[in-house]
Structure 1
């Protein structure tokens, strides 16, 4: 049983979140709190496994409360955030501070339509409450000695010449903002490849994420725009609520965004981005799958390998907040390397050519 403390200054929100969570037999709400100060007292008294934490509260707000939790006795915290620009910026800061994940209130600080995110809230609490947050319910990944066995593909069909261009594609979900913060700032300013990133997020948050990462990085990081041409040394983050695809046009890569639903049920979808790259010829591809729930990206990796090859890096269980997405790719036997998040940027750079003819 996962024991949850619900923190929100709205009695209505506390009641609704409690109702939704306790509808799942694996979750018990052991208490509620009206502000951060009260929450810290309840954490000491009740020892919950997971905390859902509102941001905008009197006495002590969510960010201040999170800082205290992470400093004193870290435990999984799910931020319950408004979709305002200010709310998005603070949410990204909370994820950097160590929050497990966040839920966006559909319509403001008191959302009577909170039922729209009921299932998402339950799934994230269940994931946060897992031992070490590692999705232990799944089979163990294949040993590294088996990574490349038993899969017919066109890997390495692109000759290793200096004339071939390169691109990097990254997929991540829960824990992704912190992981990206440990990878993108380590990429050099003169990176000879564009980088395309899918981070599972709802609309309104990816612009704040891109702005924050841009401030921290030597490469330019931005939220992707429909129709723009990708540049080397630039990082393009798919907007929340949009799928991003890449199409070749006269030797350049053009970004297209759309609203269509996908088999992965995510928007943006890692599979959707990766599948679009199968039609991009003349580019060596480095695919990276990092922390996240589920398996989005696995089918995309299979497609990349079958259609022109590429190198595949997955984040290790040790550093993943949730090992779902990396494990799913690892179990296909298609990963070239399994790396701690602190080593992923260096691993990417081992595949980057210093010069091109």
Structure 2
């Protein structure tokens, strides 16, 4: 089998050499060319048609974000971003993931760093995932922000059909009677943008989310989702009381669980227990924490991601009486791993393309 062709893009000669050497240690990859800026990268993608691109963000002439946008528009190709572990770097990385990057690797300490050797395993792992993804799916699923008129009309129709007393319960409050829990990984930031931005702000339930991501990046993800959604979106903090109409993202590096905090009240707990199947936060740990909360109507969602995190937890919740279980369909998943695992366990009530998940969540919450 021919090795996968890789284009390495970085404005530093030293970094191009380091990255090339790391990739070349895997016989399944061959660096076919390097580029010093986004303009050069775009030309080489068109000429060489590599299987995957590693892309720096800060570069002269054309930066990585603009190059990524052009590549995804003109010749969609899997891209793994190389990001600095700064607040600005995290924000740019979230933008890159929304524009179509499959994943990212954090640069441990700046643009020129021998520490990059520390992330060799992760880099190669993400390249292996990237070459198996169909980035054309991004074209099928353009991003939107704020609930669509169609969803708003559908939601209003449901609201009009319920009693005045029930309408009072739709107002955001800390009295919680149902909860939405979402798990996702590779491809998740874009999927979350699609779904969270389409859920109305008056949704009568809190939403708790585990997205596999390192520390710092989850805060930027929460800020980005908050800016495109009617919901209030926060990075979760230990001890937060859940509020209806609010989404909480587990911070990178911490497991998140939910526990009772009095009648109709629930609290977030964060912990540093060992990773589960390599993940902290873990979707399964979040889902398992909901098992004792049988008084809640629980709506459980798994979207794009590598592996099987969350599938066993969804199965246990279905067996424990979960109201709704949803898995993203293969047609829109960047990586059909986590949802597939749940489908294979026969615990999914609804298999839906990404663009239909928000509507199903809204309908399930409002009509239950």
**TM-score normalised by L of structure 1:** 0.88
Match of 1:51 in 2: 53
| Cα distance in structure 2, aligned partners of 1:346 and 1:276 | 26
Verify the 8 A CA contact 2:8 2:35 in the aligned structure 1: yes
CA–CA distance in 2 between the matches of 1:302 and 1:111? 44
What residue in structure 2 maps to residue 132 of structure 1? 134
Residue 307 of structure 1 pairs with residue 320 of structure 2: yes
**Whole-Å separation in 2 of the counterparts to 1:39 and 1:255:** 44
**Aligned residue in 2 for 1:159:** none
Contact 1:304 1:310 in 2 (8 A): no
Tell whether the 8 Å contact from 2:300 to 2:322 is kept in structure 1 after alignment: no
How far apart are the structure 2 equivalents of 1:243 and 1:305?
Answer: 22
Q: After TM superposition, what 4+ stretches of structure 1 lie above 4 angstroms from structure 2?
A: none
The match for 1:234 is 246
Give the structure, 1 or 2, with the largest relative contact order (CA under 8 Å, sep 6 or more).
1
**1:321 and 2:334 correspond:** yes
Between 39-48 and 324-333, the greater mean CA deviation after superposition: 39-48
Whole-Å Cα distance in 2 between the matches of residues 227 and 185 of structure 1?
Answer: 26
Is the Cα–Cα contact under 8 Å of residues 208 and 248 in structure 2 kept in the other structure? yes
Give, in whole Å, the separation in 2 of the partners of 1:94 and 1:247: 35
After superposition, the C-alpha distances for 1:240-264 in whole angstroms (9 at most, x for unaligned) are 1111111112121100111222332
1:202 equivalenced with 2:214 (yes/no): yes
Q: CA deviation at 1:53?
A: 0.1
Q: What is the match of residue 118 of structure 2?
A: 116
Over residues 287-330 of structure 1, what are the superposed CA-to-partner deviations in whole Å (9 max), with x where a residue is unaligned?
A: 10000111111121122223343421000111111111111111
The equivalent of 1:79 in structure 2 is 81
Q: Is the 8 A contact 1:2 1:126 kept in 2?
A: no
Which has the larger displacement, 18-27 or 166-175?
18-27
Secondary structure at the residue paired with 1:51? strand
Q: Partner of 2:361 in structure 1?
A: 348
Aligned counterparts, 1:1-357, within 5 A: 1-130=3-132, 132=134, 165-251=177-263, 252-354=265-367
Please state whether the residue corresponding to 1:52 is helix, strand or coil.
Answer: strand
Partners of 1:329 and 1:26 in 2: CA distance: 30
CA RMSD of aligned residues (A): 1.8
Distance 1:306 1:131 in 2: 32
Distance of 1:289 and 1:33 partners within structure 2: 37
SS for the counterpart of 1:352 is helix
Query: Aligned equivalents of 2:366 and 2:49: distance in 1?
Result: 51
Q: Is the 8 A contact 1:192 1:233 kept in 2?
A: yes
Aligned-partner Cα distance in 2 for 1:42–1:224: 42
SS in 2 for 1:213: helix
- Structure-2 residue corresponding to 1:137: none
How much does 1:8 deviate? 1.0
Q: Which moved more, 1:17-26 or 1:164-173?
A: 17-26
In structure 1, the gaps of 5 or more residues are: 135-161
- Give the number of the structure whose residues are more often helix, by fraction: 2
Consecutive unaligned residues in structure 2, runs of 5 or more: 137-165, 170-175
The answer to whether the Cα contact below 8 Å between 1:264 and 1:271 also exists between their aligned partners in 2 is no
